[in-house]
Structure 1
Amino acid sequence: MYNILIVDDEPLICRGLASLLENSGLNIQNIYTAHNGYEALDYLKMETIDLLITDIQMGAMSGIELMQQAKIIKPWVQVIVISAHETFQYAQLAMRLGAKDYLIKPINSEQLLNTVRHVLLHMDRPLQDQADMISDLREHFRMEQPHPERTEILNQLLSEDPSGSSSAITYGLEQANQIVLRGPYFAMIKIRIDLDSSSKGIKVEEKDAKLLQYAVLNIVNELLDKEWNHYSFYSESRDVSIIVQWDEAGYGDSSVDNINQLEMIGRSLHFHIHRFLGFQCVVGISQILKGREFLPELNVQVNKAIVWNREHKDHHVFFFGDFKWGLFTEDPTDEDLAAQNNLIVEKANEYIHSNYAQKGLTLNEVAQKNHVSPNYLSYLFKKNTGTNLWEYVIKLRMEESKRLIQNTDLRRYEISERVGYESPEHFSKIFKKYFGISPSEMKK
């Protein structure tokens, strides 16, 4: 059974789409509706949402911004975009953020149902037993390394001085249209599969490790090939490396947060590898640097980021920029690391207490103010406090609204405004879910 969230600033469209899906016979448990992006984010944070159907233009927060925030919270949420505008830029951004379809209003009912059906069926695909999966890999895939010459050149670029021979060789391959690394902006992602983390306790032989590396490479290409300018290839120790590049126009797009998109990719890769292969992996993400000569530095960064899994065994996606490397002249001690992490959580807590009643407060904003990624901040906050960060924001809002209900004569819409909600109706839904009774019942 699946939960679907429909987001549109026109209530009539929300009701129409909800009714269509309720009567479709599809395997749907709950259908939630929201009339703006901020309401939608509350549902995404509080409910298990499998499919998001969102409009593009919705006032304060666009559908593109909602998708970006949704993918920060849960990168695996499936998305279908609906729009009154047949704009290529919107469609391109939506597909890059992982939208499964981009439908133009007025919505064709059959087309929407077919798209929803396809998305749910894909999500419902049964997972293969690990032993069977490895057996299939042995049977159907050859052991040869894909694109061995290209793999060798790319690894040389990551390890050698840019003035060395690899640059000349790469130039020759560029001329042959095999490798095109023009950037000028580059980042790296590296995936290290943990062969000892099999959910079934399967011992992986050396030849099967190569097959799993091949399977990881295929997952990478399936997720990234359509919308990302990238090269994925084998690297040392059974790792899979990814070079992502942007041209000036793509990197400078003000509607896109490139670091958040890299983290979205990293978390999606981790989720899909664990889901379909049954093994854990660690994903390292570099910063973004301008110039191909910095590829060796990006490789150093992803390797350093991956090492942090030793300190955080229960966390799997690491961004190099989250760690204050410049504070230490030598490897930090456990006490240094703990102090750094405690300071991040302390400052985030202070910011939340000062701004929890702000309309439109997002995890991304709290993270930016504390110079850390949303992914790592969420992890640290939960680890240090035992509470999910957004649940903590809601707790502060609800306790303040309870105090205002019990001690003032403010109306519901006034209280809603004071604790950061866009509409009294949405505030009442959150309040009842939190306390079990409505604001008016509590007032009595």
Structure 2
Amino acid sequence: MYNILLVDDEPLICQGLSQLLASSGLNINQLFIAHSGYEAMDYIRMEEVDLLITDIQMGEMSGIELMHQAKMAKPSVQSIVVSAYETFRYAQLAMRLGAKDYLIKPLNSSHFLDTVRNVLLKMDKAAAAARDEFIAELSDRFRMEEPDQAKTEALNRLLAEPDPAGDSTEQLVQAASLKGPYFAMLKIKLDVQPSPAGTRFLEKDLDLMQYAILNVACELLDGQWNSVAFYSPDHEISIILQWDDEAYGDKSINKINQLDMIGRSLHANVRKYLSLPCVVGISQIMKGIEFLGALNEQARKAIRFHREHQDHYVFYYGDFSWNPASHEASEEELVVHHNQIVDTAKQYIHRHFGQKGLTLQEVAQQSHVSPNYLSYLFKKKTGYNLWDYVVKLRMEESRRLITSTDMRRYEIADKVGYESPEHFSKIFKKYYGVSPSEMKK
């Protein structure tokens, strides 16, 4: 499911588009609303935003500048521009920044929803069909041949018995088309319970499901990642991601966030288009073909943590390395560890909520977990989304400063982390129902 951020300085526009999207039946998880570019950037830094829908002319920060800032902060964010100005220069700038469409107000509801739908489908890179239609038209829709059996066998042998000194290893690596030298492993496992005696849940049904999942994975990863996806025993799909020295050395891309995004996309697409329950396990990254077996085992162990988190489906091994899967953690141990993660995050946020440009990734790094897992635990433990918690602290501190000091509005805005005094005033009034000056009186 996807998170969408609507940005327009006209509240009625945001309200109307929000209601339209909420009732559209699209695969939307959360809808965020911002009334300025600065507010939008706060969401992009602290929430998992997949699609940005923005106006062009918004005063303090234009939609063009917002798209530029958003791309720098989170390159994976897709965007659609909505504008009252049918100006070629604006459209040209928007398209250069990667806008998927440029829509002119007043919007046609059907056209708007079609545009959003098409963007989400392209983000999926998977066939837009229900499971029954997908299976019925599988061969026509994908035209994917069965994977090369020799290559699949070579890959699974490398996972089972990687021996760099072995005579056959070099041949297996060549057959598997692996180069590396950095590798990570993702595994997709069907969350299918054994059927009761007498029902006809046959092996061929599982084979078909595995085939369908492999198709979705290949469609999603094709052309974007240096990866190879293949069948593994027990009807699992295995995916090896690899980086050369140059790609791995690119510090502008957080590799753990990258793995997390791929895992969430795989899970969302399998659930949406195949209606199949599944769990995704993600390994850490290691250098050397000899570590493929260890990475494979890490991904398998990550999947096992679904037993302890029944409402979560994408697991990164590094989040659980404190608790080897061979050790069944007690409920008390889990509670203590989860509380430590959330407490560490809260302490960091309390110290840095006034920092401009604070990001979810930065907070997660302090807690030594992935952003995905921190978001899940934080909401589960506190009832707040991370960004809502940051806003709460900022508003409480700004109220204290307004009522107990002679600081000016722009000084308070700067102290609690807002780049624009106007944006700060809007957030404050939205939170408390009165403006800073009204509260001062």
After TM superposition, the score normalised by the length of structure 2 is 0.75
Which one-letter code corresponds to 1:361 in the other structure?
L
In structure 1, the residue matched to 2:118 is 122
Contact (CA 8 Å) 1:195, 1:204: kept in 2 or not?
no
Q: Distance in 1 between matches of 2:415 and 2:132?
A: 56
Q: Distance in 2 between matches of 1:212 and 1:261?
A: 26
1:382-433 residue CA offsets vs partner (Å, 9 max, x unmatched): 1222222221111111111122223333222111112111111221222233
Determine whether 1:67 maps to 2:59: no
In structure 2, the residue matched to 1:155 is 156
Distance 1:116 1:159, change over 3 A: farther
Q: Where in structure 2 are the equivalents of 1:80-95 lying within 5 Å?
A: none
Q: Distance in 2 between matches of 1:49 and 1:141?
A: 25
Q: Distance in 1 between matches of 2:341 and 2:47?
A: 24
Q: Distance in 1 between matches of 2:143 and 2:168?
A: 28
1:259-284 residue CA offsets vs partner (Å, 9 max, x unmatched): 11111111111122222222232111
1:235-282 residue CA offsets vs partner (Å, 9 max, x unmatched): 122111110011111000121111111111111111222222222321
Name structure 1 gaps, 5 residues minimum. Answer: 7-13, 22-26, 72-76, 82-100, 174-178
In structure 1, the residue matched to 2:86 is none
Distance 1:290 1:387, change over 3 A: same
Contact (CA 8 Å) 1:186, 1:291: kept in 2 or not?
yes
Q: Where in structure 2 are the equivalents of 1:192-207 lying within 5 Å?
A: 192-195=189-192, 205-207=202-204
Equivalent residue for 2:255, pick from 249, 255, 258: 258
Name structure 2 gaps, 5 residues minimum. Answer: 15-19, 23-30, 57-61, 82-92, 105-110, 122-126
After TM superposition, the score normalised by the length of structure 1 is 0.75
1:338 Cα deviation (Å)? 2.3
1:11-31 residue CA offsets vs partner (Å, 9 max, x unmatched): xxx99xxx9x9xxxxx88998
Distance 1:353 1:211, change over 3 A: same
In structure 2, the residue matched to 1:374 is 371
Which one-letter code corresponds to 1:345 in the other structure?
V
> Which 4+ runs in 1 deviate beyond 6 A?
27-31, 46-49, 53-59, 114-118, 124-127, 138-144, 326-329
SS of equivalent residue, structure 2 residue 395: helix
Contact (CA 8 Å) 2:45, 2:357: kept in 1 or not?
no
In structure 2, the residue matched to 1:351 is 348
Distance 1:247 1:400, change over 3 A: same
1:282-337 residue CA offsets vs partner (Å, 9 max, x unmatched): 11111110111111110011011111111111111111111233789944333222
Contact (CA 8 Å) 1:4, 1:32: kept in 2 or not?
yes
In structure 1, the residue matched to 2:78 is 78
In structure 2, the residue matched to 1:424 is 421
Q: Distance in 2 between matches of 1:122 and 1:267?
A: 19
Contact (CA 8 Å) 1:56, 1:62: kept in 2 or not?
no
Equivalent residue for 2:360, pick from 343, 354, 363: 363
Determine whether 1:103 maps to 2:112: no
In structure 2, the residue matched to 1:170 is 172
1:172 Cα deviation (Å)? 4.9
In structure 2, the residue matched to 1:281 is 278
Q: Distance in 1 between matches of 2:139 and 2:224?
A: 30
1:184-231 residue CA offsets vs partner (Å, 9 max, x unmatched): 11111111122359xxxx996432322222222122122211121100
In structure 2, the residue matched to 1:88 is none
Q: Distance in 1 between matches of 2:404 and 2:318?
A: 46
In structure 2, the residue matched to 1:186 is 183
In structure 1, the residue matched to 2:405 is 408
Aligned length: 394
1:147-201 residue CA offsets vs partner (Å, 9 max, x unmatched): 222111111110013244651432553xxxxx4311111111111122359xxxx
Identity over the aligned pairs, expressed in percent?
48
Contact (CA 8 Å) 1:143, 1:210: kept in 2 or not?
no
Q: Distance in 1 between matches of 2:193 and 2:404?
A: 57
Contact (CA 8 Å) 1:78, 1:119: kept in 2 or not?
no
Q: Distance in 1 between matches of 2:280 and 2:404?
A: 50
C-alpha root-mean-square deviation of aligned residues, in Å? 4.3
1:141 Cα deviation (Å)? 8.1
Q: Distance in 2 between matches of 1:196 and 1:258?
A: 33
SS of equivalent residue, structure 1 residue 191: strand
Contact (CA 8 Å) 1:138, 1:208: kept in 2 or not?
no
